[in-house]
Amino acid sequence: MTVTCAAGAGLDAIRRSLYAQASGLRANDFADCNLSTWIGRVDGVERVPIAPSMRDYECRNNRLALLGLEQDGFAARVASVRKRFGAERVACVLGTSTAGIEQSEQAYRQPEHSNRFGSRLAHNPHTSTRFVAETLGLAGPVMTISTACSSSAKVFASAARLIDAGLADAAVVGGVDSLCLSVLHGFNSLELVSQQPCRPFDRDRNGLNLGEAAGFAVLESDPSNSIGRLLGWGETSDAWHMAAPHPEGRGAISAMQTALASAGLEPAEVDHINCHGTATPMNDRIEAGALRHVFGTPPPAVSTKAWTGHTLGAAGIVESVFSLLAITDQRIPASLNCVEPERDWSDFILRQARPASVRIVLSNSFGFGGSNCSLLFGAP
């Protein structure tokens, strides 16, 4: 597995940030964007060279994808998986929300340069999945899940089904989402963006910070060198509103309960929770209520979004990797920037990192359209 986000490119850099309590957020310096906010921008994305043979895929999302594939020896690891099973038996299932729209945003700003439009392969939701599959030489089923902020959590479930059904023996899963004007101004229009570094579960939280990330993992049944196991998942809909969660967290509750039931686990067996925790006033209150409903007294829970920003379609893979790191390192990070937790309902949010016996972790991802996904990971 690997992740590249504002908190670092690759697991070693991310571990250093986690151990040093060093957030990857910065005052907004995204090109051509004057919004007063903080962002989780990944350094150097603009300068990542796309090979001439892959020019048709030129866009920020694919440059970020390539930077991500270069970390932690991930591409080499996939090469060995491909050799073991054969390219046609390895699937590629990635999540995204932004994909390559930034390429078209730039083209519209310079109408005299119509050649600035990317190729047809750049601005579409599937661009990065295809780019990654071609870069890694994968020839199994290639599919994009695009359900806003639950996208790259749901890839684990889709890939597991492909393997269960016999359409593949292994899968590269993950997600890539990049900063662009559409999401910066779009979330701002919904009044969900904070002008300060975000403070998930804090009493004074006032919105999210947008971020970008690329993250990948290899899913296969019964691997010899497993980092962790996918124990279960729950995917549900709110049937409520396009942009607001169900007020009682109905869909979130059933996603967590479905995940527990599919894993055959009791709530008390979960050691740690990586929350969706966007730091909007409503998300955090409703998610905390849903956690109380499912767990009674929840285990130590954190939001890692104050390290990374909300990476939207990549949030699922970023937080899945953070969940697996908690198992690998036997250490739960702090919920950064939660200084004064809401007294009545967020007392179970962990404010100090600590070593812990972590065998089972729940990771929550909730998105627009009322799309919910809860994943359960376990020690190998």
Report 309-368 residues binding another protein (CB under 8 A).
367-368
Active site residue 246: no
Q: How far apart are CA 277 and CA 83, in angstroms?
A: 39
Q: Does 82 bind another protein (CB under 8 A)?
A: no
DSSP string, 224-289: SS-S-EEEEEEEEE-SS-SSS--TT-HHHHHHHHHHHHHHT--GGG--EEE------HHHHHHHHH
Q: Does 293 bind another protein (CB under 8 A)?
A: no
Q: Does 172 bind another protein (CB under 8 A)?
A: no
Closest residue by Cα to residue 200 from 321, 76, 339, 70: 339
Active site residue 241: no
Active site residue 149: yes
Q: Which one from 5, 59, 92, 149 is the annotated catalytic residue? A: 149
Q: Closer to another protein by CB, 16 or 113: give it.
A: 113
Q: CB 362 → another protein: shortest distance, Å?
A: 18
Tally the C-alpha atoms within 13 A of residue 137's C-alpha that lie toward its C-beta: 12
Q: Which residues pair with 360 in a beta bridge?
A: 378
Q: Which residues pair with 362 in a beta bridge?
A: 273, 376
Q: Does 370 bind another protein (CB under 8 A)?
A: yes
Measured CA distances, 170 to 86, 149, 152, 257 (Å): 10, 24, 17, 27
Q: Does 69 bind another protein (CB under 8 A)?
A: no
Q: CB 205 → another protein: shortest distance, Å?
A: 20
Structure-block tokens of residue 372: 């919910």
> Are the CB atoms for 363 and 153 separated by under 8 Å?
yes
Q: Does 281 bind another protein (CB under 8 A)?
A: no
Q: CB 156 → another protein: shortest distance, Å?
A: 13
For another protein, which stretch binds (CB under 8 A), given 187-195, 216-224, 317-325, 333-341? Answer: 187-195
Q: How far apart are CA 374 and CA 274, in angstroms?
A: 10
Q: Closer to another protein by CB, 105 or 329: give it.
A: 105
Q: Does 190 bind another protein (CB under 8 A)?
A: yes
- Taking 3-state DSSP, the helix, strand and coil percentages for the chain, each rounded to the nearest 5, stand at 40, 20, 40
Q: Does 251 bind another protein (CB under 8 A)?
A: yes
Structure-block tokens of residue 380: 């190998």
- Interactions with another protein, residue window 94-153 (CB under 8 A): 97, 101, 104-105, 107-109, 111, 114, 117-127, 130, 133-134, 138-148
Q: Closer to another protein by CB, 24 or 125: give it.
A: 125
Q: Does 182 bind another protein (CB under 8 A)?
A: yes
Q: Does 158 bind another protein (CB under 8 A)?
A: yes
Q: Does 245 bind another protein (CB under 8 A)?
A: no
Q: Closer to another protein by CB, 151 or 308: give it.
A: 151
Amino acid identity, residue 158? Answer: S
Q: Which one from 123, 246, 272, 310 is the annotated catalytic residue? A: 310
Interface with another protein (CB under 8 A), residue total: 72
Q: Does 48 bind another protein (CB under 8 A)?
A: no
Nearest-10 crossing angle of helices 315-329, 11-19: 70
Q: Does 254 bind another protein (CB under 8 A)?
A: yes
Q: Closer to another protein by CB, 145 or 230: give it.
A: 145
Q: Which one from 123, 198, 276, 373 is the annotated catalytic residue? A: 276
Q: CB 175 → another protein: shortest distance, Å?
A: 13
Count H helices and E strands in the chain, helices first. 11, 16
Q: How far apart are CA 337 and CA 304, in angstroms?
A: 10
Q: How far apart are CA 189 and CA 192, in angstroms?
A: 8
- Interactions with another protein, residue window 220-239 (CB under 8 A): 235-239
Nearest-10 crossing angle of helices 74-85, 60-69: 80
Q: Does 92 bind another protein (CB under 8 A)?
A: yes
Q: Closer to another protein by CB, 60 or 272: give it.
A: 60
Q: CB 373 → another protein: shortest distance, Å?
A: 8
As a whole number of Å, the end-to-end CA separation of the chain is 14
Q: Closer to another protein by CB, 39 or 122: give it.
A: 122
- List residues with catalytic annotation: 149, 276, 310
